[in-house]
Structure 1
Amino acid sequence: MRRKARFLALLMLTTLSFGALAALPMIDPKGRELPSLAPILEQVNPAVVNIATYARQPEQNPLLSDPFFRRFFNIPDEQARPRSERRQASAGSGVILDADDGTIVTNFHVIKGADEIQVSLIDGRTFEAELVGGDPEVDIAVLKIDADNLQEVKLADSDTLRVGDFVVAIGNPFGLGQTITTGVVSALGRTGLGIEGYEDFIQTDASINPGNSGGALVNLRGELVGINTAIIAPGGGNVGIGFAIPMNMARASVEQIVEHGEVKRGQIGVAIQDMNPALRKAFKLDNGLRGVLVTDIHKGSEAEKAGLQAGDLITAVNGDPTPTTGELRNSIAFSDIGETVTLSLLRDGKEVTVKVKVGEPERPAGSGMHPLLTGVNLAPNAEGGVKIVEMARDSQAAISGLRPGDILLSVNRIEVATVEDVEQALIQEQDQVLLQVQRGPGVFFVVLR
């Protein structure tokens, strides 16, 4: 018993000794303080902000939105109007890019649908923010606040990042307030994830959680290398696979938004697809050769003028390899409209160089006919009505539940068979649009507001 008591006493003393040691500053054998991220973060943290958004949503019975339900039960339209409102709040993060102008960058999905945006600084001040503009395809939005004594972050050239570089993620996870996590760059150039329209993600194992969206990913010099955007979380929590938009990509969007209020991306007018083993064999390409296959040339496009052909394999743009469709799309889309780019091709087994001008983006049919149908591409349907060919994921039509492949039978109670019919039916009503939609064997009504 005595030996056991002495052992327990010794164990307690040892534990106390280690506890006391842990409370002391950590130093090396020569008495020098060990490295710390604190000095860097003291410079960066004031440039990272918390964002709260508020959206007003009417509370009403959804059946009252259906005009046929109201007509059947003889319910006046006035009773269909919402009688009350509730406010919803969500949290995210942002980064101050210009202290003098109060310019802040964040993710588009953080402020999407918000009626009010509030920005909170690390010093406790809160300001109402103005939305300057957004780029949903990259998931970037630009805000502006009227405030003094702001601190901006330095921007890095994200093209110089290497796998294995240390990075720090700063944001507002779960609304807890400013939090930092550390990790490394796990991979670069991640595309094909289906998260955004244009993808070229930095992958990191620095923990990125809900609320971190729009926050900063910085290097050990305190420079902004990316905007934290998304995670892969099969179990609902962080598993060490997070993604950030590279700063060079985000900066291209920010500059256009600040200057023009919107983003325009150039095109050359080609249809493309990724290579696979079967195609590589059919085109008699060397094993391991990477590139993007041209499947079609749009008539009248810059690609047609430059002499591109279906079957060309585009291997590089301005000398930068383009092994995937995502990387090729990014190379063209983030070039200036009017700029001439050099494409490296493989045509019938021979290396060819072609110069092509980056043209204006093509305007989809129906994209500008009505504000509530912005981002929707329509085409006549052979079996009647007008078909939704494609739509932007952030469009009001998509938010309201419409899908590509849906067929519009009538617009504002007027039957439609062509895109021009839809345009004519939309002339009178600007505040809302009543659509009769066929999806498969079913037909239903949708109101866009």
Structure 2
Amino acid sequence: MTRNTKTALTATAAALLAAGVTLTTTASGWTLPTWLQNKAPSSAPATGDGPARLTPTAAAVAAVTAPAAPVAPLPPGQTPNYRAIVQTQGPAVVGITVAGLHKASNNASGNDDGEGAGSAAMPGLENDPFFRFFRGVPGLRMQPRSAQPFRGQGSGFIISTDGLILTNAHVVREAKQVTVKLSDRREFSAQVLGSDPATDIAVLKVDAKNLPTVQLGDPKQVQVGDYVLAIGSPYGFEQSASQGIVSAKGRSLPGDSNVVPFIQTDAAVNPGNSGGPLFDAAGRVVGVNAQIYSQSGGFQGLAFSIPIDVALKIKDQIVAHGKVEHARLGVTLQDLSAPLASSFGLEAPDGALVSSVVPGSAAAKAGLKAGDVITAIDGEPVRVAGDVSSRVGLARPGDKLRLELWRDKTRLNETVPLGRADKDVQEASAAPQGGQLGLALRPLERQELRSAGLDRGLLVERVTGPAQLAGVQPGDVLLALNGKPVDNVEQVREALKSKPASVALLVARDGQQIFVPVRLG
């Protein structure tokens, strides 16, 4: 699932969630009837034990295997040649269908309000904030059983003539069978070389040669207001093109890992567009379409794409090592407001405020302290906290970053060797602490309590599921649960033992205390 400023978007997150607005991935968990899929009948059946392939005409094969011609640069003030972009780059855009078996949860049959419907179509999303998007989709309500079949749809694009394809990680999550369909209706079985949930990028490989490829661009050259074009398979309608402009760059999404500095656009993106390319006005891929904000489940003017340079960094690691390693600094960051900047002696609210430092982390070893403001990384200015999160998250463990800090109205420079973001350790620590709440909590250090002006509380380090859906954010301090003060994680576990249908959390955020109702049942 945004970074004009993270402050602006994060500040509205709770209100959006309360209004029913959710951040959704754009992979479709269902397929259209055959008569709506615009499919031409195959002239010859598949033969042999290999992947099924439709037999295209010779002219169609020649058209898609020819090298993509570049699209002429756009003169200032003129509309892009969308027809040329679709004709030259569209053949390298593919449709992706996935299938597999998903272990059913206890509520797989759904509740009266539709909660849980569609779990078979989108595996693993029972406690995912994106899951509500799929409530009420006809035909997706399943009865509980040990394993349920699921099918899903998405998009992708070919980046090498020998069959490397980029798509979203959530498109192929838990998939046992992945099929790639080209614009000339050839179909190939695809191997998932690897995927990275942190950035939502996956790399596929098909056994083919001389495939058409897209042209790759530089997202740093794209500016707000520039024309863009999205091509994909929304709701299974293959090779659908939609145009718009870049609405914002460097977006940090509420509740997201903040590793990705998203490109925000108003190009229409819907379920099934996930993993498809976002083209600039010259027909070069600058992003991978991934998420939308929606109150209805369909497109409402807010779409988010992963910059292609981010995707290519992840691709390189997957191809070389079969996995992705992310670095970790070990701090909790927040954006600066004008009053906060003034109180720290800064002229403008630019920078990332360190609200806490994880003991034993790379930041702690380098001497970072709560109250430090990171104003630059390797000489590049930091405007919002997401700038630091994305830069660190895309680095490799062991990489060194030169941080410019503002401490006690003095500028300092620290070189920090980054640690390793161990996903297994993070999930293991998060799972038992918040129970079905979806919270990873830890007690605050004395210095942190003093800095926050609190005498107790548990720091929210990570949030998923019901708590995230209710608007709880990383960096919040949990003060009480159902009116009872909490000083340690065990008190939270004890309060959840009775499996209440809902709880009221008292959290401290930005110097204020608010109650957040969280529905659990």
TM-score w.r.t. length of structure 1: 0.68
User: Contact conserved, 1:139 with 1:196, CA < 8 A, in 2?
Assistant: no
Asked if residue 97 in structure 1 is aligned to residue 159 in structure 2, the reply is yes
2-side partners of 1:318 and 1:135: how far apart?
A: 26
Partner SS for 2:91: helix
- The residue aligned with 2:85 is 40
After superposition, the Cα gap between the structure-2 partners of 1:175 and 1:441, relative to the gap in structure 1 and judged at 3 Å, is same
2-side partners of 1:441 and 1:104: how far apart?
A: 46
Alignment of structure 1 residues 30-429 onto 2, 5 Å: 36-57=81-102, 87-100=149-162, 102-195=163-256, 197-286=258-347, 288-361=348-421, 363=422, 367=424, 375-377=427-429, 389=441
User: Contact conserved, 1:163 with 1:187, CA < 8 A, in 2?
Assistant: yes
1-side partners of 2:154 and 2:366: how far apart?
A: 45
Corresponding letter in the other structure for 2:374: I
Structure 1 unaligned segments of length 5 or more: list them: 1-33, 64-81, 369-373, 382-386, 399-403, 406-417, 419-436, 445-449
User: Contact conserved, 1:157 with 1:247, CA < 8 A, in 2?
Assistant: yes
| 4+ long deviations beyond 4 Å | 57-63, 82-86, 378-381, 387-394
After superposition, the Cα gap between the structure-2 partners of 1:323 and 1:164, relative to the gap in structure 1 and judged at 3 Å, is same
- The residue aligned with 2:10 is none
Over residues 305-347 of structure 1, what are the superposed CA-to-partner deviations in whole Å (9 max), with x where a residue is unaligned?
4333332110111122222222111112222333222212111
Partner SS for 1:442: coil
1-side partners of 2:295 and 2:432: how far apart?
A: 40
After superposition, the Cα gap between the structure-2 partners of 1:352 and 1:84, relative to the gap in structure 1 and judged at 3 Å, is closer
Partner SS for 1:131: strand
Corresponding letter in the other structure for 1:226: G
Which of structures 1 and 2 has the larger relative contact order (alpha carbons within 8 angstroms, sep 6+)?
A: 2
2-side partners of 1:92 and 1:380: how far apart?
A: 33
Corresponding letter in the other structure for 2:171: V
Partner SS for 2:405: strand
Partner SS for 1:98: coil
After superposition, the Cα gap between the structure-2 partners of 1:54 and 1:353, relative to the gap in structure 1 and judged at 3 Å, is same
After superposition, the Cα gap between the structure-2 partners of 1:234 and 1:309, relative to the gap in structure 1 and judged at 3 Å, is same
Q: CA deviation at 1:171?
A: 0.2
Corresponding letter in the other structure for 1:182: Q
User: Contact conserved, 2:353 with 2:371, CA < 8 A, in 1?
Assistant: yes
User: Contact conserved, 1:376 with 1:388, CA < 8 A, in 2?
Assistant: no
User: Contact conserved, 2:82 with 2:229, CA < 8 A, in 1?
Assistant: no
Partner SS for 1:148: coil
Answer with 236-245 or 44-53: which moved more: 236-245
User: Contact conserved, 1:375 with 1:391, CA < 8 A, in 2?
Assistant: no
User: Contact conserved, 1:48 with 1:170, CA < 8 A, in 2?
Assistant: yes
Q: CA deviation at 1:106?
A: 0.7
Partner SS for 2:419: coil
Corresponding letter in the other structure for 2:154: G
Q: CA deviation at 1:93?
A: 0.2
Tell me the C-alpha RMSD between the 2 structures.
Answer: 3.4
Corresponding letter in the other structure for 1:323: R
Partner SS for 1:199: coil
Asked if residue 440 in structure 1 is aligned to residue 496 in structure 2, the reply is yes
Q: CA deviation at 1:292?
A: 1.1
2-side partners of 1:251 and 1:60: how far apart?
A: 35
User: Contact conserved, 2:80 with 2:282, CA < 8 A, in 1?
Assistant: no
Corresponding letter in the other structure for 1:244: S
Q: CA deviation at 1:167?
A: 1.0
2-side partners of 1:297 and 1:59: how far apart?
A: 39
Structure 2 unaligned segments of length 5 or more: list them: 1-78, 109-143, 434-438, 442-460, 469-473, 479-488, 501-521
Corresponding letter in the other structure for 2:496: G
Q: CA deviation at 1:178?
A: 1.1
Over residues 195-228 of structure 1, what are the superposed CA-to-partner deviations in whole Å (9 max), with x where a residue is unaligned?
5552311111111111111101011222110001
TM-score w.r.t. length of structure 2: 0.59
Answer with 169-178 or 337-346: which moved more: 337-346
Q: CA deviation at 1:142?
A: 1.1
Partner SS for 1:54: strand
Partner SS for 1:232: strand
Corresponding letter in the other structure for 1:180: A
- The residue aligned with 2:66 is none
Partner SS for 2:180: strand
Over residues 387-430 of structure 1, what are the superposed CA-to-partner deviations in whole Å (9 max), with x where a residue is unaligned?
96577969xxx9xxxxx99xxxxxxxxxxxx9xxxxxxxxxxxx
User: Contact conserved, 1:171 with 1:211, CA < 8 A, in 2?
Assistant: yes
1-side partners of 2:302 and 2:106: how far apart?
A: 41
